[in-house]
Amino acid sequence: MKKLLFILLLILPTQSFANEKNWNLLKEGGRIVLIRHSLADQFPDGTPIGGGDGSGFTLDSCEKQRVLGKEGIEQSIRMGQEFRKRKIPVAEVLSSIWCRCQETAGYAFGQYKVASFLNSTFQSAYYKNQPKQLKALREYVSNFNDKKRNLVLTTHYSIITAITDAYPGQGTLVITDKKFNVLGTINID
């Protein structure tokens, strides 16, 4: 038990230092922030769900989509609070059309725009869109030339892993340059 406690004490300060280093990257501006949506673990009626979306899923209604529960909402709010507290400059916030991404962007940042190139390609019906979406994402980011503020993109695991070498959990920020080289990650617990 003492060994476990000692290991935890060694790991925790390192994670805190890494997070500070990564927040400082964002203070500099000119970064791309890929956010995997916050914890989405239920349907709108409160029914728990482990992953994926419900049967009858459609993009035009949140009723059959996985959405943020209380913990996911709080996680999104904390995310926004950290950006404001640290005075992280944001040029623009874009979101996938999926409800869980729009909720994350809304609770964290308030204002956002929907961008279809951030949509999930996980489900077989959408996987065929991935090459076109990634091309559009790369084009959009290549035209982002604000060196003082950051571009925030709220999206899905399938997009982040396709464009970077990161494997983020829900509510994780992946910080990259314009070529999608990963510079760091921040987990919002």
Summarised one tens digit per residue, pLDDT across range 40-64 is 988 888 888 877 777 777 888 888 8
Give the predicted TM-score (pTM) of the model.
Answer: 0.88
CB atoms within 10 A of CB 108: 26
pLDDT above 70 covers what percent of the chain? Answer: 89
Contact call for residues 140 and 152 (beta carbons, < 8 A) = no
> Distance (Å, rounded) from C-alpha 14 to C-alpha 25?
17
How does pLDDT run across 127-163, given as a tens digit for each residue? 788 999 999 999 999 999 999 999 999 999 999 999 9
Q: Is the CB of residue 32 less than 8 Å from the CB of residue 164?
A: no
How far apart are alpha carbons 90 and 111 in whole angstroms?
A: 11
Contact 150, 88 (CB under 8 A): yes
Output the 3-class SS for 48-72: ECCCCCCCCCCCCCHHHCCEECHHH
What tens digit of pLDDT does each residue of 60-79 get?
A: 888 888 899 999 999 999 99
SS3 26: helix
Question: Which pLDDT score is estimated for 6?
Answer: 45
**How far is C-alpha 181 from the chain's CA centre?**
16
Helices (H) and strands (E) in the chain, counts: 6, 8
CA angle centred on 36, ends 158 and 161, rounded to 5°: 30
Mean pLDDT of the chain: 89
Cα→Cα distances 122→1, 14, 37, 52, 128, Å: 41, 33, 14, 9, 10
Please give the residue that has the higher pLDDT: either 132 or 15. 132
Fill in the amino acid letter for 107. Y
The answer to whether the beta carbons of residues 58 and 68 sit under 8 Å apart is no
Amino acid at 71: E
Spatial contact of 170 and 160, defined as CB atoms under 8 Å apart: no
